[in-house]
């Protein structure tokens, strides 16, 4: 410490961070009031620790850059780099100020919006981003982070859109950094503006001259399931072929961000078709529900099983044996309608799915993706027989509320942000 220039002028020295490697970040104040931070690496672990930190960060940067470089729109690509790296730098700054892990903070900032930039989908991009990163930890970013570190990173990404709610310290770090990166914006919603003012005060910076909109509760747009039928019918009639060259098909599967998605959904995109129709009709759901540190659904909504398990959990499933009368917009889940020779040995009974267009006595007209396993969308007549597993009828007042769940505990947790 004594070899640091100006050591004899220090009047205050205190540690504000100590990482896994024994490295420290110290806050120092001199006699004339100057403040600074100084990093010190543990002697025995200095080289190894620094190299490991650099390797992890560089691996994440390579992963993020690979996603951004594939963005075709030049302005969107530029925005992705500026915002993500800007938030990463803001996270680093606030991590030093708050005594948090500098490396993890920078990585959280880099990863927080990869889903929205990869897919172009904004709805639930924070929760979908955590899901995307969960998969990346098993593939592109494998063996880099401990289980505890992975939970910290995913939790921060999962919650970062909920600026009106207070979560844990790394979650709050990302929310504040996300806003700080937009410091040149002049008009903010109440929660965003209040957070910016708090952060500027924390950093001893002058309050920006901004306009804040009045505080108000979010308005949930009612969901109309019959509209799902309208959308599904219109899309199915296009007879969309599941090929990369078909832009309508690529729109249907764009929610599922991995590069392997196209191959995985080859001749298996009926559930992705239903998800797309619901999304277009205003039924907004993350791609995997639930997804917390305590509980992760067996599969995404690109799988029929996900729809069935979600329907059971919500009480939305209805059955022919109960004299249920299906109507336009209901979702139908089939029971072993695909021939055994076309399925793997351990396949579940719910093997196909579609959206009902109409019901006529003992038959239904259904809009489907991958009709007859022929890799094409169409409208088909189906018998109301034992091939019908169940129907899903989603109430018109339904709205996804998983954002109320704390990622780490899986329990409901709502602590409102109160501002200054």
Enter the tokens of residue 30: 């001199």
How does strand 378-383 pair with strand 317-318?
unpaired
- Rounded Cα–Cα distance for residues 357 and 329 (Å): 6
pLDDT of residue 327: 96
| Per-chain mean pLDDT for the chain | 89
* Boundaries of every domain in the chain: 7-40, 46-181, 225-392
Peptide linkage before 314 cis (omega within 30 of 0): no
d(CA 238, CA 378): 7
Helix (H, G, I), strand (E, B) or coil at 106: helix
Q: What is the pLDDT of residue 8?
A: 53
**How far is the C-alpha of 197 from the C-alpha of 206, rounded, in Å?**
9
- Helical H segments across 11-124, by residue range: 46-68, 74-98, 102-111, 114-119
Please report which helix (H) or strand (E) contains residue 2, including its range: none
DSSP letters along 212-277, please? EPPP-PPPPPPP-HHHHHHHHHHHHTT--B-STT-HHHHHHHTTS-STTHHHHTTT--HHHHHHHH
By C-alpha distance, which of 31, 143, 41, 33 is closest to 102?
41
Q: How far apart are CA 192 and CA 35, in angstroms?
A: 29
How confident is the model at residue 42, as a pLDDT? Answer: 42
pLDDT less than 50: residues of the chain = 1-7, 9-50
- Under 8 Å between Cβ of 355 and 277: yes
pLDDT at position 419: 64
pTM, entire model: 0.86
**Residue range 87-127, pLDDT digits in tens:** 999 999 999 999 999 999 999 999 999 999 999 999 999 99
Give the pLDDT score at 343.
Answer: 81
pLDDT of residue 41: 39
In whole angstroms, give the CA distance from residue 387 to residue 382.
Answer: 9
What CATH superfamily is the domain 46-181?
Hypothetical protein af1432 (1.10.3210.10)
């Amino acid at each position: 410490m004594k070899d640091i220039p100006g050591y004899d002028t220090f009047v205050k020295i205190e540690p504000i961070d100590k990482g896994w490697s024994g490295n420290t970040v110290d806050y120092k104040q001199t006699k004339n009031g100057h403040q600074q931070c100084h990093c010190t690496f543990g002697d025995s672990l200095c080289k190894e620790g620094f190299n490991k930190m650099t390797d992890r960060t560089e691996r994440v940067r390579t992963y993020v850059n690979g996603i951004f470089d594939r963005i075709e729109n030049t302005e969107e690509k530029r925005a992705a780099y500026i915002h993500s790296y800007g938030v990463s730098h803001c996270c680093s700054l606030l991590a030093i100020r708050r005594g948090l892990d500098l490396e993890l903070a920078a990585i959280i900032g880099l990863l927080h919006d990869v889903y929205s930039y990869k897919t172009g989908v904004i709805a639930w991009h924070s929760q979908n981003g955590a899901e995307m990163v969960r998969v990346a930890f098993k593939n592109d970013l494998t063996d880099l982070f401990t289980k505890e570190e992975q939970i910290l990173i995913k939790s921060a990404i999962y919650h970062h859109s909920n600026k009106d709610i207070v979560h844990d310290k790394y979650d709050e770090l990302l929310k504040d950094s996300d806003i700080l990166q937009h410091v040149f914006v002049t008009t903010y919603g109440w929660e965003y503006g209040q957070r910016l003012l708090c952060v500027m005060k924390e950093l001893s910076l002058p309050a920006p001259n901004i306009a804040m909109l009045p505080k108000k509760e979010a308005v949930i747009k009612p969901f109309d399931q019959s509209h799902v039928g309208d959308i599904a019918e219109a899309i199915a009639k296009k007879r969309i072929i599941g090929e990369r060259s078909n832009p309508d098909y690529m729109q249907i599967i764009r929610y599922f961000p991995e590069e392997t998605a196209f191959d995985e959904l080859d001749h298996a995109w009926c559930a992705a078709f239903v998800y797309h129709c619901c999304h277009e009709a205003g039924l907004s759901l993350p791609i995997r529900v639930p997804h917390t540190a305590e509980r992760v659904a067996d599969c995404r909504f690109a799988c029929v099983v996900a729809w069935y398990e979600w329907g059971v959990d919500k009480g939305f499933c209805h059955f022919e044996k109960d004299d249920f009368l299906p109507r336009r917009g209901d979702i139908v889940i089939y029971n072993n309608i695909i021939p055994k020779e076309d399925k793997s040995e351990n396949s579940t009974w719910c093997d196909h799915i579609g959206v009902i267009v109409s019901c006529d006595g003992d038959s239904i007209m259904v809009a489907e993706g991958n009709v007859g396993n022929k890799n094409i969308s169409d409208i088909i007549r189906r018998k109301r027989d034992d091939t019908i597993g169940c129907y899903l009828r989603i109430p018109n007042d339904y709205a996804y509320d998983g954002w109320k769940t704390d990622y780490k505990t899986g329990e409901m947790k709502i602590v409102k942000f109160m501002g200054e």
